[in-house]
Amino acid sequence: MDVPAIRDKPNPHGFGWVWEAYIELSTCRTIGMAPGPIPWTALRLYAKDLGLTADEAYFMTGVVRHLDRLWLRKIQEKSEMTAKKGKSHTRTPTSRPAARGHR
């Protein structure tokens, strides 16, 4: 994504601030049965608190949301793998050995 206001703005610190934004905003996600995405309201308030321009806020929001989707996907994959492992280690009713003297 090319945002001229960001590309042309001197930034001696690079884009580490976007990573820091993601880390800070990760604390705003809801967690129930599974973690939820970072709320839009948190992204907007964070951009406002930093005094970002509209272009900068758009850039930050896009990057943070992308990172968040990657993280949520990884969490979902781990959850599915754990569930599959759990199923493979449990016995089904048909796999139980027959009781002695009964068939």
Count of domains forming the chain: 1
What's the pLDDT at 17? 87
Has residue 70 been placed in a domain?
Answer: yes
Has residue 54 been placed in a domain?
Answer: yes
- Average pLDDT value for residue range 67-79: 92
């995405």: which residue's tokens?
37
CA distance linking residue 94 with residue 40, whole number of Å: 49
What's the pLDDT at 23? 93
Has residue 11 been placed in a domain?
Answer: no
Has residue 44 been placed in a domain?
Answer: yes
Contact (CB, 8 A) for 34 and 76: yes
87 pLDDT higher than 60: yes
Has residue 85 been placed in a domain?
Answer: no
Averaged pLDDT score across all residues of the chain = 82
- Percentage of the chain exceeding pLDDT 70: 72
pLDDT digits (tens, 9 = 90+) for 23-58: 999 999 988 888 999 999 999 999 999 999 999 999
CA distance linking residue 103 with residue 98, whole number of Å: 6
12 confidence band (pLDDT: 50, 70, 90) = very low
Q: Is the pTM of this model over 0.85?
A: no
Domain that holds residue 61: 19-28+35-80
Instruction: Compute, in degrees rounded to 10, the torsion defined by CA atoms 12, 16, 21, 26.
Output: -170
